[in-house]
Structure 1
């Protein structure tokens, strides 16, 4: 129960990150939020520190960096470090997806095989292309996030990292899902 509540709190912290940073930037009296937020990240890292799956290890790294970033920002009373967290998230996701392309099975293929162990050669090829697409997306998204950090405009930064980036991510997920359903249906019509 505690683990599920902590996962939910951590997910909300990640989703709300740009808005928390904006709140603190525009209302400095809210700097106190960094300490409980850092504690949530630290507790999440503690729970995931021995994780075995790639995604859980990624979650542990993100939680650890989140704790470090928020505690440093609280101690230094500086928001600039917090603005780089989305860049780090994209960099770690890019690393995870892109590095899987060097192995025998891409990350998306391994995820697909959880529900469909006997993946066809066409499915393997498709999941490889999807992994490449996500890698390019994380490279693009992280680059724009870095540009907004360098620009130093908190409103542009929040617009990108708390709005446009989320819309693009959701659109890519939905578009890929629709395409996958269409390809699956076409394949079933050919083989059926």
Structure 2
């Protein structure tokens, strides 16, 4: 059951834009605040990590704004909130090392060499840039895009771009490792 909750939260978070898109065509926005509250509660129960607790708190604020104002915009701002929180975590780790990516790298390679530390710092900076760009586009689709455009970007395209960044970084990492092992 412990492992089921994070998986369920992840699945609901991934499906959130699609749920909102189809829900807004059938229900008032205030009723669509309920899935956001549900995700927030599950997230709070599933994790003790500060960033996800902050996301849950932000989701409650967005849901309350939707509930009381009966407007869809706060619902559409959830992806912006998540990108902002992730940017904050990654950027803070650059100011107060080790970086997020270095911490992840050390799980597999505890004795990370200085070149690895420098590389993981650059990757963390790239992710910061991604969160700025992705969050900006998410905000633009929420403010000026149609519901369909918002759902398409935040429910599909953003995840595709994330996957491309993961894959691209993996390819670069293999080349960097190969060049350091031959050097």
TM-score by length of 2: 0.88
For residue 11 of structure 1, what is the aligned residue in structure 2? 10
Structure 2 gap ranges (5+): none
Task: Measure, in 2, the Cα distance between the counterparts of 1:21 and 1:40.
Answer: 12
Q: How does 1:1-192 map to 2 (within 5 A)?
A: 1=1, 3-28=2-27, 32=31, 34-35=33-34, 37-48=36-47, 51=48, 56-70=49-63, 72-74=65-67, 76-188=69-181, 190=182
Cα deviation, residue 113, structure 1: 1.3
CA change 1:43–1:68 in 2 (3 A) is: farther
Deviation string for 1:93-137 (max 9, x for gaps)?
Answer: 111111111123211112211221111111011001000000001
**8 Å contact kept, 1:86–1:161:** yes
Question: What TM-score do the two structures reach when normalised by structure 1?
Answer: 0.84
Cα distance in 2 between the residues matched to 1:37 and 1:143: 21
Seen in structure 2, the aligned counterparts of structure 1 residues 40 and 154 have a Cα distance that, compared at 3 Å, is: closer
Aligned-pair Cα RMSD in Å: 2.1
Q: How many positions carry a matched residue from both structures?
A: 183
Contact kept? 2:6, 2:46, Cα under 8 Å: no
Structure 1 segments of 4+ aligned residues over 2 angstroms from their partners: 29-37, 63-78, 185-188
Q: Where does structure 1 lack aligned partners over 5 or more consecutive residues?
A: none
2-side partners of 1:136 and 1:119: how far apart?
A: 24
> What is the CA–CA distance in structure 2 between the aligned matches of 1:187 and 1:94, rounded to whole Å?
29
